[in-house]
């Protein structure tokens, strides 16, 4: 792929001398950014553009040009791709629209292009995008006119599906004086997609930070693996966050785990920084260009006491700790104040101190203390303070680098001065305390995850053959496993469930009851009935043979032809209801879910997700990160539930999903979390469509 980003020769196809010709802009950009390779032009008519002859046929080109950039009507592209194959051009950037994004016919045309390209050994960028920009060598081929003067070479590379969004981000970075390395408009991702580009950028020495804008994410598991393989920060702005596109209607889990919840959990697991708007994306880039925040100990310094209080509230929300000033540091600060009327606390109110050189001294004293991990400095300047403020900001930049700690600078001044600071000093500026603290939290969390070893939980000894036999029986009969079969599979994997017996005939009921013991629950078993309680197929708290016989008759009468048997199950009491579940996400693969059950899931509407396989720490986080987890810890004198047992169930559920790709989803609802142990009471397993009716 280095040949794509660093070509020695390029041909632009679709060029004319007309001023409104868009391909002409591509050529102009190459000259504007001083591309140092050969430039060839092809169009419908002879002509001359920027001293280059416009050829009228691909056959007039020399063999072996590195990259072709095509901007012609969609219908002409297949023949042009064939011509590229004949001329041995290995890389083609298609900026034309009118393909799969436009119509069904366009989608078919797109597939024709791909088939021709693969036959000719050609890789494709796009179509329906604005191509590639490499600031370092001037290979800049968007069909939108760009100016080189405001763009600086840097270490940030950006990938985006949308050309418009990509240009917006490029402009925002230029405005924030963030240097750029490579930007790619992926378009329809017909051939190359974000995974291909990421693999390249992770190895690219001129890229230290990667940003992505995505509307769809088809290869999420690969994305996680790539992110885990690098220390380079990856920031994703994921849009198009609607409900899951293919929910499993028969599982409660599906409704609790829509696509965007899975994305959120997966990105967090892989230490990919998720942002949901342009502003937070830019702020994340700003803070990650500074030294890392290695902990939660924060010092706030402000020229305004009131703004300091606002910032302190925000810092608490973001999980920072405002350390009480060290007595030695407090004494040093106090010696700098002439009036001695302001106590040097945290936040530190500079009050009427107008000596900007002392600001620098105070900042350095704070950075020198080992227990201080980061500083938020809130500054403001009036007209006569602009010049000393410039010197101070340069000092902030130097000190942050020297002590390798981030100083988030929030600066209030007029727009003209702010623009000058960004350009002249090249230090990230935040306009609000909340933005600065959100960004510092991103740096802190990223550093923590980066330095925490990824533990692996060894697999449990399980009876995989037993589970497989049960599954294969259901697959052979083209149905999902029945309730007792699901419980059988759980037992094979060490997931505890309440004692049960399957009763096929009424005369066998007494024997089953003697094995299970009262009180019992009785549940209908039928491949035709998914939601048993909705049709009266669940009867609880049965405490006599007579009541059990009545319940059996009632269940058989629901649908004599479709009710094959009845499950007799020991009642489990005294615990708290929770939900465990799993589903197979089309992008990320198996996903495990945890939530509070019963009334809590409806009231709190809170669940946690992780992409399998999970380790013990992740399973513990799933349980404890819920706001309602206090219910499990015991409140108002109630005894706590066995959280360790829940953690083990989650780990075993994760292992089950990894071992059997034919399982589409699992719903264990409820699980009774007891004082000692946890017990699955009801369950549902759904097979992948190709394995069930």
The answer to whether the CB of 112 falls within 8 A of the CB of 78 is yes
Q: Do 339 and 313 share a structural domain? A: yes
**Packed helices 278-288 and 163-175: angle between N→C axes, nearest 10 degrees:** 50
The answer to whether the CB of 7 falls within 8 A of the CB of 64 is no
What pTM did the predictor assign? 0.86
Closest CA to 215 of 269, 165, 167, 270: 165
The answer to whether the CB of 50 falls within 8 A of the CB of 81 is no
Report DSSP letters for 205-237, one per residue: TT-SEEEEEES--S-HHHHHHHHHT--S-EEEE
From start to end of 78-233, where are the E strands? Answer: 91-94, 123-125, 132-134, 139-140, 153-160, 180-185, 209-214
| CATH number of the domain where residue 391 is located | 3.40.50.261
| CATH number of the domain where residue 561 is located | 3.30.1490.20
Distances (CA, A) of 449 to 43, 321, 496, 510, 662: 52, 19, 33, 57, 33
Q: Do 100 and 187 share a structural domain? A: yes
Phi, psi of 206 (to 5 degrees): -95, 5
* H helix and E strand count, the chain: 24, 30
Report DSSP letters for 258-306, one per residue: -HHHHHHHHHHHTTPEEE-SHHHHHHHHHHHTSPP--SSEEEEEES-HH
The answer to whether the CB of 417 falls within 8 A of the CB of 423 is no
What is the C-alpha separation between 470 and 478, in angstroms, rounded? 13
| CATH number of the domain where residue 90 is located | 3.40.50.720
Q: Do 91 and 60 share a structural domain? A: yes
Domain assignment of residue 285, yes or no = no
What is the C-alpha separation between 48 and 50, in angstroms, rounded? 7
Domain assignment of residue 221, yes or no = no
Q: Do 504 and 586 share a structural domain? A: no
Q: Do 51 and 150 share a structural domain? A: yes
* Phi-psi group of 113: left, alpha or beta (phi > 0 → left; psi -120 to 50 → alpha; rest → beta): alpha
Q: Which of 514, 545, 570 is the last residue of a domain?
A: 570
Q: Do 443 and 342 share a structural domain? A: yes
Domain assignment of residue 264, yes or no = no
Domain assignment of residue 121, yes or no = yes
Residue 618 neighbours by CB under 8 Å, 6+ apart: 269, 610
The H-or-E segment that residue 594 falls in is: strand 589-596
Q: Do 609 and 486 share a structural domain? A: no
Instruction: Give pLDDT, residue 255.
Output: 44
| CATH number of the domain where residue 625 is located | 3.30.470.20
Domain assignment of residue 267, yes or no = no
Residue 108 neighbours by CB under 8 Å, 6+ apart: none
Q: Do 483 and 444 share a structural domain? A: no
Q: Would you give the DSSP letter of residue 43?
A: -
Summary mean pLDDT of the chain: 89
Report DSSP letters for 356-422, one per residue: HHHHHHHHHHHHHSTT--EEEEEEE--GGGHHHHHHHHHHHHHHHHHHT--EEEEEE--HHHHHHHH
What is the C-alpha separation between 203 and 197, in angstroms, rounded? 10
Domain assignment of residue 522, yes or no = yes
Domain assignment of residue 459, yes or no = no
Q: Do 484 and 590 share a structural domain? A: no
Instruction: Give pLDDT, residue 136.
Output: 96
Domain assignment of residue 208, yes or no = yes
Q: Do 622 and 496 share a structural domain? A: no
The H-or-E segment that residue 581 falls in is: strand 576-585
The answer to whether the CB of 576 falls within 8 A of the CB of 586 is no
pLDDT in tens, 279-315: 999 999 999 999 999 999 999 999 887 888 999 999 9
Q: Which of 451, 474, 499 is the last residue of a domain?
A: 451
Q: Could you tell me the end-to-end alpha-carbon distance of the chain, in angstroms, rounded to an integer?
A: 45
The token pair that represents 82 in the structure block: 């064939």
Q: Do 525 and 582 share a structural domain? A: no
What is the C-alpha separation between 481 and 398, in angstroms, rounded? 65
Instruction: Give pLDDT, residue 596.
Output: 87
What is the C-alpha separation between 534 and 12, in angstroms, rounded? 65
Q: Do 398 and 346 share a structural domain? A: yes
What is the C-alpha separation between 200 and 182, in angstroms, rounded? 11
Q: Which of 191, 215, 239 is the last residue of a domain?
A: 215
Residue 453 neighbours by CB under 8 Å, 6+ apart: none
Write out residues in the chain with pLDDT < 70, as ranges: 241-258, 325-326, 328-344, 352-353, 453, 529-531, 534, 560-562, 598-605, 637, 691-693
How many domains are there within the chain?
4
Distances (CA, A) of 490 to 477, 496, 658, 667: 20, 7, 14, 12
Q: Which domain holds residue 473?
A: 464-570
Residues in the chain: 693
């Amino acid at each position: 792929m280095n040949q794509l980003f660093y070509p020695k020769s390029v041909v632009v196809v679709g060029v004319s001398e007309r001023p409104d010709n868009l391909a002409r802009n591509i050529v102009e950009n190459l000259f504007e950014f001083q591309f140092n390779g050969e430039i060839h032009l092809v169009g419908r008519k002879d002509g001359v553009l920027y001293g280059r002859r416009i050829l009228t046929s691909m056959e007039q080109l020399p063999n072996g040009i590195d990259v072709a950039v095509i901007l012609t009507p969609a219908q002409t592209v297949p023949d042009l791709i064939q011509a590229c194959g004949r001329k041995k051009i290995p890389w083609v950037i298609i900026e034309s629209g009118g393909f799969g994004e436009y119509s069904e016919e366009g989608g078919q045309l797109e597939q024709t292009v791909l088939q021709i390209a693969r036959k000719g050994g050609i890789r494709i960028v796009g179509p329906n995008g604005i191509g590639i920009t490499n600031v370092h060598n001037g290979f800049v081929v968007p069909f939108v006119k760009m100016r080189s003067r405001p763009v600086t070479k840097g270490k940030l590379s950006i990938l985006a599906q949308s050309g418009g969004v990509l240009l917006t981000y490029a402009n925002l970075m230029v405005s924030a004086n963030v240097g750029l390395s490579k930007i790619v408009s992926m378009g329809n991702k017909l051939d190359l997609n974000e995974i291909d580009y990421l693999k390249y950028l992770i190895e690219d020495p001129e890229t230290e930070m990667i940003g992505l804008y995505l509307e769809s994410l088809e290869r999420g598991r690969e994305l996680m693996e790539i992110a885990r393989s690098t220390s380079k920060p990856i920031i994703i702005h994921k849009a198009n966050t609607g409900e899951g596109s293919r929910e499993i209607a028969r599982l409660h889990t599906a409704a609790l785990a829509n696509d965007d919840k899975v994305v959120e959990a997966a990105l967090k697991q892989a230490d990919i920084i998720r942002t949901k708007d342009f502003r937070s994306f830019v702020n994340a880039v700003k803070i990650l260009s500074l030294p890392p925040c290695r902990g939660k100990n924060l010092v706030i310094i402000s020229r305004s006491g009131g703004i300091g209080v606002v910032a302190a509230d925000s810092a608490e929300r973001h999980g920072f700790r405002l350390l009480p000033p060290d007595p030695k540091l407090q004494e040093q600060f106090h010696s700098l104040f002439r009036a001695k009327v302001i106590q040097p606390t945290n936040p530190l109110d500079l009050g009427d101190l107008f000596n900007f050189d002392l600001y620098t001294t105070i900042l350095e004293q704070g950075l020198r203390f080992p227990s201080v991990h980061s500083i938020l400095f809130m500054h403001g300047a009036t007209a006569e303070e602009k010049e000393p403020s410039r010197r101070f900001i340069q000092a902030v930049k130097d000190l942050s680098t020297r002590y390798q700690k981030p100083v988030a600078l929030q600066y209030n001044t007029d727009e003209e001065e702010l623009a000058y600071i960004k350009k002249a000093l090249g230090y990230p500026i935040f306009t609000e305390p909340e933005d600065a603290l959100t960004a510092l939290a991103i740096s802190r969390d990223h550093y923590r995850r980066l330095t925490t070893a990824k533990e692996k939980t060894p697999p449990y000894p399980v009876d995989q053959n037993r589970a497989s036999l049960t599954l294969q029986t259901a697959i052979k009969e083209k149905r999902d496993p029945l309730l007792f079969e699901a419980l059988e599979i759980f037992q094979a994997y060490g997931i505890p469930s309440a004692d049960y017996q399957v009763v096929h005939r009424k005369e066998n009921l007494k024997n089953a009851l003697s094995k299970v013991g009262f009180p019992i629950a009785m549940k209908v078993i039928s491949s035709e009935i998914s939601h048993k309680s909705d049709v009266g197929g669940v009867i609880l708290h049965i405490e006599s043979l007579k009541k059990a016989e009545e319940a059996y008759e009632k269940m058989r009468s629901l649908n004599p032809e479709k009710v094959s048997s009845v499950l007799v199950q020991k009642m489990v009491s005294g615990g708290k209801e929770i939900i465990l579940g799993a589903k197979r996400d089309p992008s990320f693969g198996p996903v495990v879910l945890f939530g509070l059950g019963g009334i809590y899931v409806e009231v709190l509407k809170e669940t946690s997700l992780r992409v399998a396989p999970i380790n013990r720490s992740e399973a513990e986080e799933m349980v404890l990160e819920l706001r309602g987890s206090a219910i499990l810890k015991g409140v108002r004198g109630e005894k706590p539930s066995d959280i360790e047992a829940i953690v083990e169930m989650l780990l075993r559920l994760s292992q089950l999903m990894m071992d059997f790709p034919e399982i589409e989803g699992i719903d264990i609802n409820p699980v009774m979390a007891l004082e000692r142990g946890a017990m699955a009471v009801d369950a549902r397993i759904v097979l992948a469509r190709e394995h069930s009716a």
